[in-house]
Amino acid sequence: MTDFAQALRSHRLTAGLTLREAAALGGVTKGYLSKIEGGTATPSIAVLSRLAGVYGVSLSDVFTDGAAASHFALVRAGERRPVNRDGTELGYVFESISFRKKDRRGEVFVLSLPALPPDAPRQLYRHRGEEIFYVLEGVVRFTYGPAEHILHPGDCVQFDPSVDHRGEAYGPDPARAFVVILPATDSPDKCGFQPPANKSGFQPPE
């Protein structure tokens, strides 16, 4: 079981929610949430963000190291914490590089984007807050609402992630990006939880 899976289960129990109740509020199925908590399913960051909001905690509370420092935190290149070591269902791999900082204001990740076959599903994501996406390597096709943008190393987008979006490697080679997720500031919860709307095309995972 992964650290964040244990943390999610702990936060759900603290919130006094059953699997069925938490799944309904988080926009996923009960079976899928059970797999997440058991470490056999790897959710997207958007799903983790929604679940954190349901439990009344921040995304940082899901990832924070138990010995996190208050003022200065150093994470070496080989010490990144994989959020999903084997990738999500679509192969995305997030590595947290901010987990050692206590009381931080956002989450920082290195995101690996595999080259996908043409017939791979194109799932869109959305959550509240603010997001920064900086391309480190490769070429990325970035979808934001109805628009598509081709991003190259050094290109950066900063955007409202409550709009449907996704990044994917463009072409035959994988890509990597530096991603910062900041919480919403106009919401009583700390991670900017926003229930999915049917019109976004979101389909709860089975």
Range of the domain at 40: 3-195
Answer yes or no: is 203 within a domain. no
Answer yes or no: is 175 within a domain. yes
pTM for this prediction: 0.71
Exposure of 2 in the CB half-sphere (CA atoms within 13 A): 22
Average pLDDT over residues 187-202: 39
Under the banding of pLDDT at 50, 70 and 90, the label for residue 87 is: very low
Answer yes or no: is 92 within a domain. yes
More confident call, 80 vs 178: 178
pLDDT digits (tens, 9 = 90+) for 13-46: 999 999 999 999 988 999 999 998 988 887 777 7
Under the banding of pLDDT at 50, 70 and 90, the label for residue 2 is: low
CATH (domain of 130): 2.60.120.10
Answer yes or no: is 111 within a domain. yes
CA-to-CA distance for 169 and 33, rounded, in angstroms? 28
Tell me how many domains the chain contains: 1
28, amino acid identity: V
**Residue 27, by phi and psi: left (phi above 0), alpha (psi -120 to 50) or beta?**
left
* pLDDT of the residue at 174: 96
Q: Is the pLDDT of residue 81 over 90?
A: no
Cα–chain center distance at 187? 19
What Å distances lie between residue 173 and 20, 100, 117, 139, CA to CA?
Answer: 40, 32, 11, 8
* pLDDT of the residue at 197: 38
More confident call, 85 vs 158: 158
Q: What is the mean pLDDT of the chain?
A: 82
Under the banding of pLDDT at 50, 70 and 90, the label for residue 192 is: very low
Answer yes or no: is 35 within a domain. yes
Answer yes or no: is 104 within a domain. yes
